[in-house]
Amino acid sequence: MSREYRKDPEAISRLSKEQYQVTQEAGTEPAFNNVYWDNEEPGIYVDIVSGEPLFASVNKYDSGTGWPTFTRPIEPENVVEVRDSSLGTIRTEVRSARGDSHLGHVFDDGPVDAGGLRYCMNSAALRFIRRDDLEREGYGEYRKMFEPPGGGGQR
């Protein structure tokens, strides 16, 4: 299934105040007080504005920061990294490529055995799609990420 991902004005109009502040104004939600920081269900995370596939639960880990954190994106071309000096220090902002949503920041202090990066994202910028809903939601190609090695489709 081919999808067109874009900054969707209709999706923007449905955002909560916090979602708008995070995605459109580069805000940050509170640590430990957001919907996905401790989510352990299998599935993928997509941009709440464009629907672009961004991260997967198989690459999520507890960084102790209170935000959903990943070792890498599932589709590197769907994320853009931008130099950010807004707080008087140099950081790397992460934005969705087509939706242009502010997602969070990436740091170089992640697990070394997984590449060393820590993608620290805002739940308010993400929509979680459970493994069992991937086909219905149009993301069926990501189902294979959750199958055991060798296939078979067993859970």
Active-site positions?
Answer: 120
H or E, element range at 127: strand 126-130
Q: Which element (helix H / strand E) includes 11? A: helix 9-13
Cα(43)–Cα(57) distance, rounded to whole angstroms?
6
